Structure 1
Amino acid sequence: MPTELLTTLADNKLILSLLLVTTIFLLRFLLTTLMRKSSWPRQDIRRRVHMVHNFTNLALVIGLFAVWVSELRDFALSIAAFSVAIVVALRDAVQCLVGGIYQASMRSFTIGDWVKIGDQFGEVIDNNWFSTTLLEIDPHGLGNGYTGTTLYVPNGVFFSQSVKNLNFMRRYIEHTFSITRENKGENPFVIKQYITGRVLEYCESFKDVAERYCKLIESRMGVDLAGTEPKVKITTSELGHNVLTITLFCPREEATEIEQKVTEDFYRFWYGKDGNSDFAESAKA
């Protein structure tokens, strides 16, 4: 009797499929639960959970294919006349699958990296065969960090859009900002030395760390960066206004604060403290 029952179960592909799915999902649940309760760092837990999800998904696909291979073969033969329509219908899914394999072979990023895919910017929190999940980061907010939005990017975009790994920019960034002021007859270059000195003063506290980090990026990525020395440039706009452009290599969290301090120094130079025009008079002189 038990032998007949086992034979019946083996011949019933639907029951075998249900047993396979139940077993794999139960195994995934147990493994992820044990990992999340472990004392590993959060980043390591996320990577291991990601690996478990991918391997169990692969095992599920292979197992279901092995169970239904004979039926799939017969089915494929019976729909040979509709093969072109099926390829067109599954084009996006196949493209996503191939894109996932392409990304895995290139290893352009991994879980926890900061990446920019096309116009989407965020931290990679999951990556499977068909899509990549990003926790969006505001690229203009700098120190503000995450926006709270989760982005689901199909892997097919890897063939049509560029992928930039910005993981080295998590701590230090090359921040550029501009200040525009109407020309009122003064020589705009009189402020250049003053602003350069103020920027150097604001960057003094992290200058040594920034130089080491810049050299680390250059050695890891094999590129030559512009360096850590602040750069101040004066140009004119299309309307003839003076444009002061400052570029500095600084901690991401301090970029906005330094920008505000430099902007305040700029206007104090021209208009003086508390509405006085000491700086402006010295500039004209």
Structure 2
Amino acid sequence: MWETLNQYIQNGPVKAEVLESAIMIVAILLLRGVILQAHFRSHPAMEIEDKRRWVVTSRNVTLIMVVFGLAIIWAAQIQTLALSMFAVAAAIVLATKELIMCLSGSLLRASTKQYSVGDYIEVNGLRGRVVDINLLNTLMMQIGPNPLVGQLSGKTVSFPNSLLLSHSVQRDNVLDIYVIHTFEIPVPIHLDSDAIVPVLGKLLERLCAPYIKVIERHLEAVQTQKLFITPAAEPRITRVPHDDKVYTIVVRFASPVQRRLEIQQSVLDEFIRVQYRLLNHIGGDGGN
């Protein structure tokens, strides 16, 4: 029976490589589904972001396994084809240059762990929260449109992974659930900074006070485990000269990732109120 089946495969309309490829692909897909379902059932309380990471990672691993398996099954035919196509190899490389760069960027991201699903990143002026990653591009929910408004805009933006080879990647939540957040406020040069900075400083200290001790312990743990030089957790406000029309107030603080936008907006709201009073010569202590 097996000899008859083997002769049919070898001499019939279905080649052995085609049948082996189909069986391998089906087996890998079934294995992926079984592993995902078993993991999700054993962890019913898993967060949606963690589930998304598992789905994305398993999909990419499945794709790599399929490509690797096909390469093994079709090795002889690929070798024959490669020898016959040697004359056009250079043209193929040039035609697939962007594809190769995208795959190289994906390999760079995976090997250096630059970012993963759920991270807040900025690449070549594109800023957002990563929602999907594959071998060719990265998809993220856009943040903006104003740089000071860190809320999700509801739009998605994708970029080819080849950008990772030529542009730096800024990742906000490198400290896991906490973040060191910095933003700038341009101020008209004629407004006295001594009437602005103390007010903003008091508000910032009050907003960050519940988290400073916890974040300090977390930063110490990160420094010990990952050998990072971690920044201080205390909030700071710095005045920086810019030109003859404006100077810049740089606000820096540590907070949970989920609270940073709320704290930033509170500081901006207070600055607008102080600026209004100064421009209209209205008295008051400016505090909340």
Provide TM-score, normalisation by structure 1.
Answer: 0.77
Structure 2 unaligned spans of 5+: 254-259
Contact 1:135 1:146 in 2 (8 A): yes
Cα deviation for residue 165 of structure 1 reads 1.9
SS of residue matched to 1:167: coil
Q: Could you tell me how far apart the structure 2 residues matched to 1:144 and 1:106 are?
A: 26
The residue number in structure 2 matching 1:4 is: 4
The residue number in structure 2 matching 1:282 is: none
Give CA-to-partner distance per residue, 1:141-170, whole Å, 9 cap, x none: 555521223333222222211112221486
Q: Could you tell me how far apart the structure 2 residues matched to 1:176 and 1:247 are?
A: 5
Q: Could you tell me how far apart the structure 2 residues matched to 1:168 and 1:80 are?
A: 45
Q: Could you tell me how far apart the structure 2 residues matched to 1:216 and 1:266 are?
A: 36
Q: Does 1:19 align with 2:23?
A: yes
Count of residue pairs brought into register by the alignment: 264
Tell me which of 250, 253, 266 is aligned to 1:247.
250
CA 1:139 to 1:162, structure 2 compared with 1: closer, same or farther past 3 Å? farther
Cα deviation for residue 245 of structure 1 reads 3.0
Q: Could you tell me how far apart the structure 2 residues matched to 1:72 and 1:236 are?
A: 64
Cα deviation for residue 233 of structure 1 reads 5.4
Contact 1:172 1:210 in 2 (8 A): no
The residue number in structure 2 matching 1:222 is: 229
The one-letter code of the counterpart of 2:24 is L
The residue number in structure 1 matching 2:278 is: 269
The residue number in structure 2 matching 1:195 is: 196
Q: Does 1:260 align with 2:269?
A: yes
The residue number in structure 2 matching 1:175 is: 183
The residue number in structure 1 matching 2:256 is: none
Q: Could you tell me how far apart the structure 1 residues matched to 2:40 and 2:197 are?
A: 50
Q: How does 1:144-183 map to 2 (within 5 A)?
A: 144-168=150-174, 171-180=179-188
The residue number in structure 1 matching 2:129 is: 123
SS of residue matched to 1:70: helix
Cα deviation for residue 44 of structure 1 reads 2.5
Give CA-to-partner distance per residue, 1:216-275, whole Å, 9 cap, x none: 5696441556962323457653xxx4x3532222433221232122122122134245xx
CA 1:52 to 1:6, structure 2 compared with 1: closer, same or farther past 3 Å? farther
The residue number in structure 1 matching 2:83 is: 77
CA 1:99 to 1:198, structure 2 compared with 1: closer, same or farther past 3 Å? same
CA 1:36 to 1:139, structure 2 compared with 1: closer, same or farther past 3 Å? farther
Q: Percent identity, aligned pairs only?
A: 22
The residue number in structure 1 matching 2:205 is: 204
Q: Could you tell me how far apart the structure 2 residues matched to 1:68 and 1:192 are?
A: 71
Instruction: Tell me which structure has the larger Cα radius of gyration.
Output: 1
Q: Does 1:41 align with 2:44?
A: no
CA 1:137 to 1:236, structure 2 compared with 1: closer, same or farther past 3 Å? closer
Judging by fraction of residues, say which structure has more helix.
1
Q: Could you tell me how far apart the structure 1 residues matched to 2:207 and 2:248 are?
A: 21
Q: Could you tell me how far apart the structure 2 residues matched to 1:128 and 1:68 are?
A: 24
The one-letter code of the counterpart of 2:250 is T
Structure 1 unaligned spans of 5+: 280-285
Contact 2:123 2:169 in 1 (8 A): yes
Give CA-to-partner distance per residue, 1:11-67, whole Å, 9 cap, x none: 532232222223323333444455556412223322222231122112101211122
